[in-house]
Amino acid sequence: MVTLLMDNFTRAFGHGSSNHFYPVLQQAIGVGSAFEGWRPHAEGALYHVLVPLSAPAGHTFHLEADTGAKMPGRNFRVRVELECTCVREQLGNDTVLCFLHHSREELSRKQEPSLLDTLCTGPYLDVEKTAFWLYRLVRADWLLLPQSYHGHLMLLPSSRSCKMQLSEGKDSFVVEVLFGVRHGDSDIYVSSQPTEVRFMPSTTWHETYAVAEANFFRHVARQAPQDSWHCKCLQFLTCAAMGSDFSTYALKTVVMHLLNTSPLSQWGRREFLKRLLDIVDYLRCSLDKKRLDHFVIGNQRLPGEISLPPDLQRVEPPNLFQHLARDPDAHREVVQVYIKLQHK
């Protein structure tokens, strides 16, 4: 239902923006626990989708490392550059006037403004301006969608994404639409996803591995027997850890490592308790070593269908428990949380 909704929105956006130079919205990709099959019940009806953006005609996107961003992880800026379209113009294959080689007067008279003049701050694509533009599109195109005949749409506040609540009778769900730019032909994107950092520059885009991780779970679903309970294992443990300071992402990372290194035939219903114990044991060893390798970055054993940029394939995997190695008090607290989880 969420995928169909986003496909309908994307088609509606495409019909209304053919004469404008805004980012081109590609097919939405479902990410996060709901689409990976293990959503904790406490999350309710919340869905995350990532909508890839490509450059409009006469423009190109270039990713630049944002070394000035004082935030954890890898951060980028999306530089927007104009490209010459004179050849296409001369061949009659393109109605776009070349932004580089026509006068400003002619361009302003015959053509809509370039992306640099609408959604950019300086030469960089602005996350907050793009989110506001997307909000306006959703509001304008909602009545064109089949879902509007029997549902109600409410837009929710968010500066770096587009959040919407859809209601039909007593049922409702929330969709958070993130948008991003792809690293080449890989499964890695720079994304508008909000972070815990309060003051994040509007031209900073955070690298996300959510699409690669969702694709990994889809790969496992295709390869595993029909009675596989790997998602139930993860769902059970994340629900047991709910309310504690223990990271859900750490549990997910442990499960992904085990799924990638153990036979998928051993994740059936009968092995449920054994696999739970394997996960808890792996977690204990990681806490003892104060090291838990990131699943995607630097992983040489990823399935071949999951594509990484060359620089992410060759690096040493980041340690998700690095903060525990630096802070003995934090390590002691997490160990106590782990002991409670083990008892549960």
Using the predicted structure, report yes or no on whether residue 135 has a pLDDT greater than 70.
yes
CA angle 205, 209, 213 (to 5 degrees): 155
**CATH number of the domain where residue 42 is located:** 3.30.460.90
In a domain, 219, yes or no: no
Residue-level pLDDT at 94: 61
The one-character DSSP state at 42 is: G
Q: Do 254 and 197 fall within a single domain?
A: no
Instruction: Quote the percentage of the chain above a pLDDT of 90.
Output: 68
Looking at the structure, tell me whether residues 33 and 164 fall in a common domain: yes
- The answer to whether the beta carbons of residues 59 and 114 sit under 8 Å apart is yes
Q: How confident is the model at residue 18 (pLDDT cuts 50, 70, 90)?
A: low
CB atoms within 10 A of CB 148: 14
Q: 307 and 189, same structural domain?
A: no
pLDDT digits (tens, 9 = 90+) for 54-111: 999 999 999 999 877 666 678 999 999 999 988 876 666 567 889 999 988 998 888 9
- Lowest-confidence pick of 40-54, 281-295, 326-340: 40-54
* Residue 220, in any domain of the structure: no
What the block records as the tokens of 34 is 């709901």
**Pairing state of beta strands 46-54 and 171-182?**
parallel
pTM: 0.92
Same domain, 255 and 153: no
The closest of 112, 147, 129 to 16, measured between CA atoms, is 112
Could you tell me how far CA 226 lies from the centroid of its own chain? 27
**In a shared domain, residues 14 and 41:** yes
In a domain, 217, yes or no: no
**Structure confidence at residue 247 (pLDDT):** 87
166 lies in some domain: yes
Domain boundary among 212, 245, 266: 212
| Rounded Cα distance, 267 and 53, in Å | 37
289 falls within a domain: yes
Instruction: Assess whether 8 and 101 both reside in one domain.
Output: yes
Nearest alpha-carbon partner for 28 in 211, 206, 282, 276: 211
Q: Do 248 and 339 sit in the same domain of this protein? A: yes
Instruction: Using alpha carbons, list the distances in angstroms from residue 248 to 6, 14, 180, 235, 321.
Output: 27, 37, 23, 10, 13
Query: Which domain-ending residue is among 177, 212, 247?
Result: 212
C-alpha span between 126 and 141 (Å, rounded): 22
Q: Does residue 68 lie within any of the structural domains?
A: yes
Least confident of 31-40, 93-102, 194-203, 317-326: 194-203
pLDDT per residue over 210-248, tens digit each?
999 999 999 999 999 999 999 999 999 998 888 777 789
Domain C-terminal end among 212, 241, 272: 212
Q: Is the pLDDT of residue 205 over 60?
A: yes
Question: pLDDT, tens digit, for every residue of 142-164?
Answer: 988 988 888 899 999 999 999 99
The rounded distance, in Å, linking the Cα atoms of 98 and 48 is: 37
- The CATH number covering residue 261 comes to 1.10.1410.40
Strands 46-54 and 29-31: what pairing? antiparallel
130 and 35 both lie in a single domain:
yes
User: What's the domain count of the chain?
Assistant: 2
Whether 284 and 178 share a structural domain: no
pLDDT tens-digit map of 299-326: 999 999 999 998 898 889 999 999 999 9
Residues 6, 39, single domain; the answer is yes
Distance CA 31, CA 146 (A): 24
Q: Which domain holds residue 266?
A: 226-343
Same domain, 190 and 277: no
- For residue 253, being part of any structural domain is answered with yes
* pLDDT given for residue 79 in this prediction: 98
Other beta carbons within 10 angstroms of residue 310's beta carbon come to 9
| Residue 277 forms part of a structural domain | yes
Lowest model confidence (mean pLDDT) among 69-73, 220-224, 268-272, 329-333: 69-73
Q: Let me know whether 59 and 197 are in one domain.
A: yes
